[in-house]
Amino acid sequence: MTTPHISAKKGEIAETILLPGDPLRAKFIAENFLENPVQFNAVRNMFGYTGTYKGKRISVMGTGMGVPSIGIYSYELIHFYGVKNLIRVGSCGAFQGNLKLYDVIIGMGASTNSSYGDQYNLPGIYSATASWDLLYKAVKVAEEKDIPVHVGNILTSDTFYSADKDGNQKWMDMNVLAVEMESYALYCNAAHAGVNALTILTVSDSLVTKEETTPEEREKSFTKMMEIALELA
């Protein structure tokens, strides 16, 4: 079994998968955290690997940037490969002044300016939320590892460079914690298919203080969120 975007055969992908946006972060996780990782995908250089972590089988694969990209990959992983637990591990821009670089955020819900939910023809606006089981476990793991986390609402945005110069402030005023570009689609796909999804983010830059990390730091040093996510297998 293959899809237009994933070349894995049936059984090569675990039921639990970590989904960083950056395929090089997927490679980093596989090489530094998984035992005996085997690469199952390189189509479009979207690297995917399966190995074990503390004896449990787990996969990791890049998803690219934005709602359309993670929408495709998460759909195929769920419907063609039987993945049951999808955990996004990504970077985000902080919307609140109390959030510092490298802080970990768990996305309880995802607001959005995307029209992704329109496909379901719902008679209203869908609130995309994380799976309680994964959310609860992630918070417990963070407590056990003494990793401080912020749990709350995040924004999935379709625009990185927005013409609406006041837009970010409006989301800040609603106490949205941070902005990223994928989680709403992931949560919708998971909910519609009856599987579990969760987003764990690391603050890579602040829209309040204007501080930011480097591309290399985003690829290799956001390890706290990885440690939490890997325990959810």
Query: Is 205 in the active site?
Result: yes
* Given the residues 103, 158, 164, 205, the one annotated as active site: 205
10: left (phi over 0), alpha (psi -120 to 50) or beta: beta
* Separation of alpha carbons 197 and 108, rounded Å: 10
Q: Which residue has the tokens 């399966």?
A: 50
Buried b (16+ CB within 10 A) or exposed e, 214-227: eeeebbeebebbbb
* Separation of alpha carbons 117 and 26, rounded Å: 27
Q: 202 vs 115, 144, 230, CA distance in Å?
A: 25, 18, 15
Which residues are identified as catalytic?
A: 205
